[in-house]
Amino acid sequence: MSENDGFISYELQEFKLFEPLFRWARKKSLWIVAFCTGCGGIEMPPLFTARYDLERFGMMPNPAPRMADLFLITGYVTPKTLKRIIITYEMMQDPKYVLAHGSCPINGGVYWDSYNVVKQLDKYIPIDVAIAGCMPRPEAVMDGIREIMRKIETGEADGWKRYRENYEWYRKNQDELFGEGWREKDAKRWLAWL
């Protein structure tokens, strides 16, 4: 695909001189897009209240996907949600990280036998860190966030780069699940009911 060619040489566009500074800044100010999927949604508020205060690491729940850096997938993902997750993920701007939270995004969890749960999220969007547990304790989530901070510092958290480079593969998996042209179809779905 010709429009994808520009993205593959992303490494060259980095500001080499300021890169350590930017890496430190990215690590220190991760803004979470407030997208609560499934039952993990109720595990998000305790992270930001007085007991386990994540704001001391500079994290902030942010309602707008354009400004956010970190996407927490907190629970099972149905195909209907996955469409929204993919659109939100593509709206986020480029160094962006995904943290899968709980067992369901890893292998389906207790919904292994369900016709309507996406078993392996990693086939559709790239995951940087996964935390097991149903539900994980806030300490476990904080541990996962520490891990993602370490990965950002060393440059290992490269989900956004993998998504650019292997876009055809991810796109193929998404199209296999939803069928070709699902974005347009989903946008026009409600027109008949207006």
Under the rule (CB under 8 A), what is the footprint of other proteins? 10, 13-15, 18, 21-22, 25-26, 28-29, 31, 34, 49-50, 53, 55-58, 62-64, 66-67, 69, 92-95
How far apart CA 75 and CA 81 sit, in angstroms, is: 11
CB 33 within 8 A of CB 93: no
Q: Cβ closer to other proteins: 29 or 166?
A: 29
Residue with smaller CB distance to other proteins, 51 or 188:
51
Q: Which is nearer to other proteins, 139 or 180 (CB)?
A: 139
Q: In the 3-class helix/strand/coil scheme, how is 34-46 assigned residue by residue?
A: CCCCHHHHHHCHH
| Smallest gap from residue 87 Cβ to other proteins (A) | 14
CA distance 36 to 53: 18
Beta strands in 47-96 (DSSP E): 60-62, 70-74
Minimum distance, C-beta of residue 88 to other proteins, in the bound complex (Å) = 12
Checking phi first, is residue 126 left (phi over 0); if not, alpha (psi -120 to 50) or beta? beta
Minimum Å distance from CB 131 to other proteins? 23
Of the pair 26, 119, the CB lying nearest other proteins is at 26
**Cα 116 to Cα 138: distance, rounded to the nearest angstrom:** 28
Q: How far is the CB of 18 from other proteins (least distance, A)?
A: 7
Question: Are the C-beta atoms of 86 and 174 separated by less than 8 Å?
Answer: yes
Dihedral Cα 28, 33, 38, 42, nearest 10 deg:
60
Residue whose CB is less far from other proteins, 68 or 118: 68
Task: Supply the minimum distance, in Å, between the C-beta of residue 8 and other proteins.
Answer: 13
